[in-house]
Amino acid sequence: MCPAITADLEVRRAYEADASGLRMVPDAVARPSDESEVVEVLRRATVDRRPVTVAGAQSSTTGASITDRGILLSMRGCDRLVDIDPSARTARVQAGALVSDVKRAASEFGLTWAPDPTSEAESTVGGAVACNASGPRTLWYGPTRAHVRGLRVAFADGRVLDLRRSGLEKNTAGYLAAQDPVDWFIGSEGTLGIVLEAELTLVPRPTAVIGLAVPFATECAALMFVAAARDAGALAPRCIEYFDADAVAIALSADHSRLGVGEGASMVYAEQAVESTGTRDGVLDAWLALADTRQAYVDAIQVFEGEAALTRARAMRHAVPATMNERGARARATGGRKVSTDWAVPYHRLTATLAAVREMAADAGVPPAVTYGHAGNGHPHQNYIAGDAAELERIEGVVERTLRHVVAEGGTIAAEHGIGKLKRRWLGLQLSPMQLDVMRALKRELDPSGLLAPGNIL
Ligand SMILES: Cc1cc2nc3c(=O)[nH]c(=O)nc-3n(C[C@H](O)[C@H](O)[C@H](O)COP(=O)(O)OP(=O)(O)OC[C@H]3O[C@@H](n4cnc5c(N)ncnc54)[C@H](O)[C@@H]3O)c2cc1C
């Protein structure tokens, strides 16, 4: 057997779960520590016709990084930050490096890698690339795709290829879909190849940032404020996040502070970069003025400035999915689990869509979802906790109706967590048979034996 592969049951069990609530014990686990070992694992697997599912830090919410078919290939041992070039503003890193480690290293040069999944301390660059991850600040910077310049990938048979974006400003050579192979792998969830290394584009860290937590009496008022903030030409938010009343309750207990308004309030958290004290005062005044016209509890607005306060705000945000994951894990004992959505609609349709979706859950007798997230992008997360199998079925029925409605509103069924295994059955709600056939053709071309990440996406 290849030295990096083990069939030890204890090791296999250590890789049976991700954040989806599913459990799948792989037949074997491979833990390579360098590229040559990854290649060897793939060559052997191809000869033996064994499927290979690659995993980063296994924070997937969709079951994409677990498998009960063949080898689970963990890239966590390949986590070297190969090189940072501050003058070119690029970083070359191995796929198993944590996103937060890349950011920390870049910050020493006054730079950052912009993608900011709230799970950045527990997810890898390979996972971010494979899911086209995003986060609160995607509103300003765009998703992972916009910050990847090149990839070194291994195909299922062990061939290795370096791919680099051309940087061309004009190009009419062939179909768009074929022009930049780097894009094939971003969002491919381990189904087309293994990302070995990534060349990342870095951006300057803003000199100062101001954050505001703005409470509202109702969800509708809060979401109308979000849309108004996006439309206000005078504002340039780098994130606009929403917390419904249940999410506020979770976020505050993690932060041990108070919003200063009664229970049941919703909250919007926004951040904007400011370059000088003069700009800072103008930016703050503009946000307060908008809040005032949108029925916010203006006297209870909290302002976050400085690294420590902004980190505290980020921890408050992260507490919500982390707590909901814990609740979901507890529900497993009675046959339930967390069911999370990451649909998105054009931001000006969010208020009406969320109202319609909440009604669907109420009609089905399903407990309300804790709802929070990237409202500025029209992209909330809804977390339901199913207490048992019967409730799980009812919740999944509500989610399917939700996704049909979202697609009819011009939205997407998956804005940042990918499709994985859990959302595969709903992909056809959004993509036509022709689009799915084009994806299958690409999969056949790059992975002709169908060995990579079986059950993900297609
Ligand atoms: C509390 C919590 C908060 C989260 N918040 C966010 C958020 O704000 N934004 C967001 O986008 N996501 C979020 N997620 C989801 C998840 O963290 C992201 O999808 C993350 O990018 C996955 O990275 P990972 O290293 O954990 O990958 P894994 O979960 O291990 O794998 C995810 C997918 O990537 C593939 N993959 C992993 N490594 C490679 C590689 N080297 N080559 C090819 N394919 C590979 C796997 O096969 C799988 O399909 C959150 C999850 C949790 C638990």
209 or 254, which is more confident?
209
pLDDT exceeds cutoff 70 at 256: no
What spacing in Å lies between the alpha carbon of 294 and ligand 1's midpoint?
36
Rounded distance, CA 272 to CA 293, Å? Answer: 19
Atom of ligand 1 nearest to the CA of 322: 1
Is a pLDDT exceeding 80 seen at residue 257?
no
- pLDDT number for residue 239: 96
Q: Tell me, what's the pLDDT at 1?
A: 57
Give the Å distance between the CA of 413 and the centre of ligand 1. Answer: 17
Distances (CA, A) of 408 to 47, 125, 226, 411, 412: 45, 33, 22, 7, 9
**Is 241 a pocket residue for ligand 1 (Cβ < 6 Å)?**
no
Indicate if ligand 1 lies below 6 Å from the C-beta of 94.
no
Residue 78 CA: nearest ligand 1 atom is 41
Among 41, 94, 123, name the best residue to mutate to test ligand 1's pocket (greatest count of ligand atoms within 8 A of Cβ): 123
Q: For 408-428, write each residue's pLDDT tens digit.
A: 999 999 999 999 999 999 999
The three-class DSSP label of residue 384 is strand
Distance separating alpha carbons of residues 190 and 194, to the nearest angstrom: 6
Interval between CA 18 and ligand 1 midpoint (Å): 9
Q: What is the pLDDT of residues 71-87, one digit of tens each?
A: 999 999 999 999 999 99
Output the pLDDT for position 57. Answer: 98
Q: Residue 199: which of 162, 155, 169 has the closest Cα?
A: 162
Q: How far apart are CA 291 and CA 301, in angstroms?
A: 9
| Nearest ligand 1 atom, CA 374 | 8
Question: Are the C-beta atoms of residues 103 and 389 closer than 8 Å to each other?
Answer: no
The pLDDT value given to residue 259: 65
Residue 134 Cβ inside 6 Å of ligand 1? The answer reads yes
What is the rounded CA–CA span in Å between residue 276 and residue 301?
Answer: 22
Please write the tens of the pLDDT for every residue from 149-186.
Answer: 999 999 999 999 999 999 899 999 999 999 999 999 99
Q: Is the pLDDT of residue 283 over 80?
A: yes
Q: pLDDT at residue 272 above 80? A: yes
**Structural domains for the chain:** 5-76 (3.30.43.10), 81-167+177-204 (3.30.465.10), 208-317 (3.30.70.2190), 321-434 (3.30.70.2740)
Confidence of residue 275 (pLDDT cuts 50, 70, 90): confident
Mutate to test the pocket of ligand 1, among 34, 54, 59 (most ligand atoms within 8 A of CB): 59
Q: Give me the pLDDT at residue 299, please.
A: 93
Ligand 1 and 75: CB distance under 6 A: yes
Is pLDDT above 90 for 277? no
* 250 pLDDT tier (thresholds 50, 70, 90): very high
Question: Could you tell which of 16, 31, 65, 138 is best to mutate to test the pocket of ligand 1, judged by most ligand atoms within 8 Å of the CB?
Answer: 65
Q: What is the pLDDT of residue 21?
A: 87
Above 90 in pLDDT, residue 233? Answer: no
Quote the pLDDT of residue 264: 85
The percentage of the chain sitting over the pLDDT mark of 90, rounded to a whole number, equals 92
| Residue-wise pLDDT tens digits, 113-156 | 999 999 999 999 999 999 999 999 999 999 999 999 999 999 99
Cα separation, 49 vs 449, in Å, equals 8
CA angle 202, 204, 207 (to 5 degrees): 155
Q: Which residue has the tokens 């849309």?
A: 227
pLDDT greater than 90 at residue 253: no
CA of 324 to the centre of ligand 1 (A): 17
